[in-house]
Amino acid sequence: MRETWQERFAEAPDCLKSTQRQQTAVPVLDFAIGGGDFVTMAGPCSVETEFQLMATANHVRRAGARILRGGAFKPRSSPYAFQGHGLDGLKMLARARQESGLAIVTEVMSEELVPMVAEYADILQIGTRNMENYALLEAAARSGRPVMLKRGMVATVAEWLRAAQLILDNGNPNVILCERGIRTFETSMRNTFDAASIALLKQVSHLPVIADPSHAAGHSELVPALAQIAVAAGADGLIVEVHPNPAKAWSDGEQSLDFGAFDAMMDGLEPWLMARNRGASRRGTRNSRREIAGARAMEAVG
């Protein structure tokens, strides 16, 4: 007999849809993630300079982003690569927030840093390398800030949901899942974008799902196509790396969009979002017709 999703994800019961909970909307400033609006998070991989951050914040806001991303603490594959500005980076993010009105998402890499990062960030990002760092997840959960949990690069969906369950168990309902690509035998791209995981999560889980086409692809020219696929798969939003001059970026320049490419990506998403909304409103119409018919039947009976 075929295993049900409830059985497969039995270790993450509170992440699954139920009659009481069909969708979680995570509140951020004056909007929500998972509440029906498609939310774009955009910004540089690393916070580098005041100019780089402000220019990017102002640009992505005008193009429709609601959240500014940028790493102040950077987990790097090479120990010799730029590790981030730390507290100074957080302060730059806070100024960018003040000037642009954008919310801030930024990574927290260790348990001890949670209070400091939570003071500046609207959303705490847990990176792929830390998905199963349960001491960090507990501390992040208890900070009270929404937590964006990136999928471990070698994590199954079940393991990912189990980590999300731990955050819920620590009293924080505001968990956002982020598909950022996984390791497979394919090496042409940085990772393999698992769009099917987005479709699956949207069917079985009430938690909002965000796609990261930048880290999934590793190449900027692939980012717009993966973003469209994410919309089609049902993602609640995107997190995308954008830099004023990707060739000069201190980290992840090859996968960062310049301002023109970001605008083109946002424009290119419009028809896909419209098609998705049309589908949803058609379903809505059908539902309301059914509801009206049901109400009439009740009246006739009663």
What is the Rg, in whole angstroms, of the alpha carbon atoms belonging to the chain?
20
Closer CB to ligand PEP, 56 or 128, in the complex = 128
Indicate the residue type of 3: E
Out of 59, 145, 150, 243, the residue judged to bind ligand PEP by CB under 6 A: 150
CB under 5 to 8 A by kind: which of ligand PEP, Mn ion, none does 173 bind?
none
| DSSP annotation of 257 | B
- Cα angle 39, 37, 141 (rounded to 5 degrees) comes to 60
CB under 5 to 8 A by kind: which of Mn ion, ligand PEP, none does 244 bind?
none
Q: Is 64 in the site for ligand PEP (CB under 6 A)?
A: no
Could you tell me the end-to-end alpha-carbon distance of the chain, in angstroms, rounded to an integer? 42
Q: Is 45 in the site for Mn ion (CB under 5 A)?
A: yes
- Can you tell me the distance from the alpha carbon of 70 to that of 77, in angstroms, rounded to the nearest whole number? 17
Residue carrying structure tokens 């731990």:
166
CB under 5 to 8 A by kind: which of Mn ion, ligand PEP, none does 202 bind?
none
Out of 52, 106, 128, 205, the residue judged to bind ligand PEP by CB under 6 A: 128
Closer CB to ligand PEP, 128 or 143, in the complex = 128
Q: Please tell me the chain's helix, strand, coil percentages from 3-state DSSP, rounded to the nearest 5.
A: 50, 15, 35
- Closest distance between Mn ion and the C-beta of residue 124, in Å? 16
Out of 61, 162, 180, 202, the residue judged to bind ligand PEP by CB under 6 A: 180
CB 175 within 8 A of CB 149: yes
Q: Is 59 in the site for ligand PEP (CB under 6 A)?
A: no
- Cα angle 41, 44, 47 (rounded to 5 degrees) comes to 120
Q: Is 252 in the site for Mn ion (CB under 5 A)?
A: yes
Indicate the residue type of 166: L
Out of 75, 173, 234, 268, the residue judged to bind ligand PEP by CB under 6 A: 75
Closer CB to ligand PEP, 6 or 208, in the complex = 208
Q: Is 174 in the site for ligand PEP (CB under 6 A)?
A: no
Six token digits for residue 97: 């927030």
Six token digits for residue 239: 């997190």
- Can you tell me the distance from the alpha carbon of 9 to that of 257, in angstroms, rounded to the nearest whole number? 36
Query: Which spans of this chain sit near Mn ion (rule: CB under 5 A)?
Result: 45, 252
Which residue ranges make up the site for ligand PEP (CB under 6 A)? Answer: 45, 71, 75, 127-128, 150, 180, 215
